[in-house]
Each structure stands twice: as C-alpha cells, then as structure tokens.
Structure 1
Amino acid sequence: MTLSGGLSRPGERDRPIIKFMEIDWTFCLALCLIAGAGALMLFSIAGASWEPWAAKHLVRFGLYFVMMVILAMIDLRLWFMIAYPVYVVGLILLVAVELVGDTSLGATRWLSIGGFRFQPSEIMKIGLVLALARYYHGLSADSARLSWRLLIPAFMIGAPVLLVAHQPDLGTAILIAATGLSIVVLAGLSWRVIVAGVVALLAAIPPFIIFVLHDYQRNRILTFMNPEADPSGNGYHIMQSKIALGSGGLMGKGFGLGSQSQLNFLPEKQTDFIFATLAEEFGFLGCFSVLFLYGAVIFMALRIASISHSHFGRLAAAGTTATFALYVLINGAMVMGLAPVVGVPMPMLSYGGTVMLTVMIGFGLVQAVRVHRYTEVTSGKGSLM
C-alpha cells in the first residue's frame, strides 16, 4: 500500500515481499538465458549427454540464483559494514596461500579447509570492490580526484594483485587490477593522473615481460603475437580456436556438429574456449545473440548503479559490473586471438562453479543496490538504525 503520489509508507519498503518485487527480473531472465546457453553447449560437447558438465552447470546455477535473490534482500548498510572485513579476510587468505596453499600444475592458488578446496582470489574480487566503494564513499570529490589519499587505494589494489600474480595466476591478477582501477577512475580520478598512468603502464610492459613474467607466461605473450610459429605447441590453443571460429560462418555447422569440439581438437572446450565451440556450432548469429545478452546484463547493471542514492551503492554496483565486463572482454579477446591465453573463462557460459559463484554473489550485491536504492548509507559506522 502506498501514499498518494506513489510513495511508500514509512518502513513499507523493508517488507520482504516488497523487496522481492523490487528485484530486476528482466536482469535475472538475461542471466538465465546465458546460463541456459552454456548448458546447451556443455550438453553438445559431451556427446549429447548431461554428464559430466551440463547437469552440474544447471544445478549450480539454480542454487546460486536462489543465493543471489537472498543476497538482494540484505540491507545495503550491512554490505557497507562488512566491506572492510571481507577485504581483510581475503587478504589474509591470500597470504595463507603463500604459506600453506595447495600446489597443482605448478601453481599454488588453492586452500583446503575441512575437505573444502577454494581459491581465495575469488573472495578478493568481491572484497576489493566492497572495500574501495566504502573507502570512496567517505572521500570528498577533490580528494578522489588527486591527493595523497590515493596511496591508500593504490595499496588496496596492489597488495592482492602482487600476491595473486606470485601464485602465479596472471589472468586473475590482471582482472583484480583492472577492476580496482575501474572503481578509482569512476570515483573521479583526475584525467591528468589517468593519462600519466597509461603512459607509465605502456612503458613498463616490456621490462615486465622480460624480467618479471615466468617463462611459460612469456611464451604465451610471444605465441599470441605469432601463433603460427609453433602450431602444434604453444600456439595450439589459439590456432584451434581460430579454426573453430572461422568454420562456423554465419549460421554455424549445427547443434552437436562442431568438428573441433566434438573430435577434441579444441582444448579446454568446456571452460576457457566454450565461446569458440558456440561459434562453430551456431556461427556469427549465435555469438551475436549471446554477446547481446552479455551487453544487456552490463547495461542493466550500470543503470542500477546510476539510480542508487548512495555513493557506496553506485561504486559497488559499477565495480561488480566492471568485473563481469572484463571477464567477457578478456575471454572474448583470448578466444579470437586478440589477447594471450590467460585462463579467464566466459562467465555463466563456461563450466566451473567458482567463477559462477563469484559472479552471482556480485550480482546479488547489484540487486541489493537496486532494492535498497533509496537507502542512505552513512560514512561512519554504517548503522542499520
């Protein structure tokens, strides 16, 4: 029930049913369509079988979707209160990876606690967004534009990036760094600093590649520049992906008829290169349709960010959206041979529970910003009173 003029009665917006109705269900539908397309492709590449990937993909999405709806009901002030604790816990867990982490395939990225194995870097993706949004919420426009206070977000971004890069996990390190920098720019960073930072970054790339990267990471960069030089070795992934992309044409070969994936020429066909499988079986039109859905999700999420009454809500939703957009951009460029292979999956489309969990927690935050868009978040303790 509302007052004249469509304004809710005091406290009415806190009712669960009202909050539930405030969720953007068009946004949810777009997520369901992307996840459904992923299940369809996983069913195809498994030889028209729900096992071992498609069924688990759908079950996980269903569980995480319910979780997203629950998170959307959480008051934005509570998200504000837990921002720094989540970041600190994520940072401690990243340090723990360095000390007691599990090593697999030459990388130490996982922690095992009570039989549960997870990557702390995924927690940091959410923690960094929350922490930076909270930090800038209490900062003046002049300080956000250019001041010594910028050293604090620089440390907040740099610490997890260095820890993740040391694991080594270059793809996730790039994703975390790009997400953090996106929030700093959106918060109002001076264009002079942005231009100077871009110039410094470009100048630092050659020595970074030569002196910092591991040999296999350096080989990935060189292979990306000329994959034909080693088509059966380091260039194999990119070459097979390009073949799959090109052979799909306008309409594709048809569902279940992609030779690159069905005959196992395409590596990591269920994770990193599932978009190439989609291109081979459904062609340009299929790829365009899925990218349109991704674009719609990004647009709706940014619109949600723009209508929030709190600076914290705007930055938190925009930062989460930036992470999602970077997933799509990096994976798409990687599959098309426009970027080195760095192990970043296509969100919601690729098989894998960890990335999907992180993305859906992030979208739970985005929906919480929408549901509580009129909530005023104080820059102090973030009281719920």
Structure 2
Amino acid sequence: MAKEALRVPTAELDLQERILRLHWPLLLVLCGIAGIGVMTLYSVPQGHWSPYAAQHLIRFLVCLVGLAVVAVIPLRFWLSASYPIYFGVLVLLLLVPFIGEMNNGARRWIDLGGFQLQPSEMMKVAVVMALARYYHGLEFKKVSTILGMIPPLAMVGVPVGLVFIQPDLGTSLLIGFSGLFVILLAGISWRVVIVGIFTALAGIVVAIQTGLLKEYQIERVTAFLNPDHDPLGANFHPNQSKIAIGSGGVEGKGLLEGTQSQLGFLPEKHTDFIFTIYGEEFGLIGTTILLGLYILAFLLTARIAGAARSHFGRLMSLGIGLTFVSYVLVNTGMVMGLAPVVGVPLPLVSYGGTVMLAMMGGFGLVMCTWVNRHQDTLRTQGWRR
C-alpha cells in the first residue's frame, strides 16, 4: 500500500502535497552555501551589511521563493516552455549590443529599472532546457547522425558567439560547456566527440591568429601558462590571490582579519575573487566545508536525475548540476592559479543578481524534476542503448 501511495500521479497532487515533496536536503545545502556568501560579503567592506551582504541575502530569499514556485509547476509546462524560454533569452542577447549598458569596457547588461539583467547568465540554463527538450523528442539512433547534430550545435554555437563578441570569454565558455554536457549525456558517439575536440582546438588557434581573441584575453592565458612572467602586471592579481589563500593556513585568520584581501590587493573582491577572501579568513577547514557543500549539492542533483522517469527531467537536471559544477571549478581554479582568469563568479556566494536568479531558477527545475519524479506521461525511452 505504501509503495502504491508513492506512485500517485503527480497531476493529482495539490499544491500542499507538491510543497511537501520538495527535496528539503538540497534546499538546506543551498541555504548553507548562500549563508557563507552573506558572511563573506559582510567581510568585504570590513564588517558592514551594506552594500553587499544585505542585498545578497534579500536576493537569495526572493529567489528561494521563486525556486519553490518553479518546483511546484508541472514538469509538462517546463517541457513545453523550453524552446520559448531559449528563444526569448536569445532575443535579449541579440538586443544587448543595441540597448545594453557599458561596464568595464564590455556591454553585457540590460537595465530593467534598477536591476541589471545579464542575459548571458540566463542562457546557461536556457540552453540546457532547450537541448533536453530536443533530445527528449529525438530517437536515440539519430543522436549521432549529421542531421541529428546540426540543431543542437546551432543552439549552442549561436549564443556562444553572441556572448564572445560582448566580449565575455568566460561566460561564452560556460555556455559551451553547459550545452556540451547535455549533448554528451544524450549519448552522442565518442568518435564524434573526438572529432569535435580537435575541431575546437583548431578553432582556438584560428581565433588567436586572426585576432578574434582580444589582446588582454590572450595575455591572461599566457600569464596562466607562465606564472613568473610579468608579476606586477598580468600575473599580479592571480599571484596576490594565491598568497592570500595560502596565508589563511589551516584554520584561517578569522572573520574581518584578512590582510591581503582587506588591504586592497585584489580586484572584484565581492564577485570573481570572493573565494580568496573566504579562503584567507577561514583557511583550509572553511574552504573544505564550502567545497563539500558544492559537491553535496551536485550529488543530490545527480540522485534526483537518477530517480526521474522523464528523459527530459534527467537530462535537464544533470545538465544544470554539471553547469553548477563548472562554475565552481572555473572560479576556484582561476583564483588558485589552476586556470586562466576569465571572470566567472562563484555560485550563490559571489555578489550578483542575474547569477543568483539563473542558478536558483535552475535548481527550481531540478526540484521540479524531483516533485514529478514518478510522472510517466513523458517519453522515457532512449536513455540507454
């Protein structure tokens, strides 16, 4: 009888039952990560709630409500809305060069009455949704065919190109990774993957030789490959970041006690380099806790994907989870000197409204997959050969 109760069709659940079926452990993990973000942003201006910590907390609470709203909407709705959402965000990307706000030499944001919307951040989730929708309706034997590959490559390539010319190398790469994750999960042949890797490498060489990559972008990659080169120029900030993290030791210097971070040696302390602030003040123990929470969030997301009967829900949840992980790996890698500095925020910790909105919306979709995990009206064939 208990097993039968678990398999009550999701469509018959009322709103209260849907809320009760939210994945509460994942919610708690997300709250823990955001709490670390609030604490670190409180430290950035030397112990003040304004201008970052209070705003970050308010944004998270609002987005938490939004996550719950997304989660209780039937999964069928998000299946049908995937393409419209993707093309809507694509239109916003197309409008950025014309109506976007200029900031730090780049035009990436659209001013919506005081809220700076960055469409490229929304695209990371939108492209995952669109690709999951595409493969949901595609026969498995067509996944690796030429005709089967053209639409997903176009869905990934167009936004990557639009974001790259803003210019925003880091975000364009993450959009590409997000799309690639779903394509790989859909079961594309490894022969096609190998050809794609060599094609991408050739494209990078062409981009460098033809000047598509900006001089400062090439300089960042060169600095990463040669850490001892130009210590007072291109490598100054990465080196200072490594010094700050290393000086935190095992236990850290304590909240508000960081010296490298508080004395102004680092740029963008509230966004791209916030992991450095946290690492100096809370040391190896603190960073292990934070990274552990990130790992736990992904493992819970993977479990949700594995429990879903919907092919769309599986692909979408895993794609969002891997996008989340790519944020973490790129950000922590660049501040520790393990990757070039490409301007990628740390999810739910760095200050930024659109990043928060995109990630929480993405986890809302993951949560929706969990609430609807027994739904058997969607296509479930083709996940395995």
Which bracket does the TM-score occupy, shorter chain normalised? over 0.9
Q: Structure 2: any 5+ residue segments left out of the alignment?
A: 380-385
Q: Which residue of 2 aligns with 1:93?
A: 92
The equivalent residue for 2:261 is 261
User: Which secondary structure does the structure 2 equivalent of 1:269 belong to?
Assistant: coil
- Equivalent residue, structure 2, for 1:161: 160
Which aligned pairs between 1:213-228 and structure 2 lie closer than 5 A?
213-228=213-228
Question: Are 2:292 and 1:289 aligned?
Answer: no
One-letter identity of the residue aligned with 1:237? H
The 2-side partners of 1:353 and 1:225 are apart by 32
Letter of the structure 2 residue corresponding to residue 106 of structure 1 = G
2:382 aligns to what?
Answer: none
Structure 1 residues 210 and 239: CA distance shift in structure 2, 3 A: farther
- After TM superposition, the structure 1 stretch with the greater mean CA deviation from structure 2, 8-17 or 359-368, is 8-17
**Matched letter for residue 281 of structure 1:** E
2:248 and 2:280 in contact (8 A); partners too:
yes
Residue aligning to 2:370? 370
- 1:73 maps to which residue? 72
User: 8 Å contact 1:13–1:19 — kept in the other structure?
Assistant: no
User: How far does residue 214 in structure 1 lie from its aligned partner after superposition?
Assistant: 0.9
- Of 342-351 and 40-49, more deviation after overlay is shown by 40-49
Correspondence 1:1-150 to 2 at 5 A: 5-7=4-6, 13-113=12-112, 116-150=115-149
TM norm structure 2: 0.93
- TM-score normalised according to structure 1 size: 0.93
Overall identity of the aligned pairs, in %: 47
RMSD, aligned α-carbons: 1.8
Q: 1:323 to 1:372 in 2, by over 3 A?
A: same
Contact 1:274 1:350 in 2 (8 A): yes
Structure 1 residue 5: Cα displacement: 4.3
Post-superposition CA distance 1:223-279 (Å, at most 9, x none): 222243222222221011011111111111222211011212122111111111111
Code of the residue aligned with 2:318 in structure 1: it is: A
Deviates more, 1:176-185 or 1:102-111: 102-111
CA change 1:52–1:10 in 2 (3 A) is closer
Answer with 204-213 or 146-155: which moved more: 204-213
Match of 2:261, SS state, is helix
The answer to whether structure 1 residue 243 and structure 2 residue 243 are counterparts is: yes
Deviation at 1:118, TM superposition (A): 1.5
Q: May I ask how many residue pairs the two structures share in their alignment?
A: 378
Report the equivalent of 1:276: 276
Note the C-alpha offset of 1:149: 1.4
Deviation at 1:200, TM superposition (A): 2.7
Task: Give the direction of change, closer, same or farther, for the CA distance of 1:87–1:47 in structure 2 (3 Å limit).
Answer: same
3-state secondary structure, aligned to 1:80: helix
1:339 aligns with 2:339: yes
SS at match of 1:145: coil
| 2-structure distance, mates of 1:167, 1:326 | 21
AA partner of residue 328 (structure 1): V
In structure 1, C-alpha distance between the alignment counterparts of 2:10 and 2:306, rounded to whole Å: 24
Deviations 1:315-348 (A, max 9, x none): 1111111211110011011111111111101101
CA distance in 2, matches of 1:377, 1:215: 52
Give structure 1 stretches of 5+ with no counterpart: 380-385
> What amino acid is the match of 1:154?
L
State the one-letter code of the partner of 2:280: E
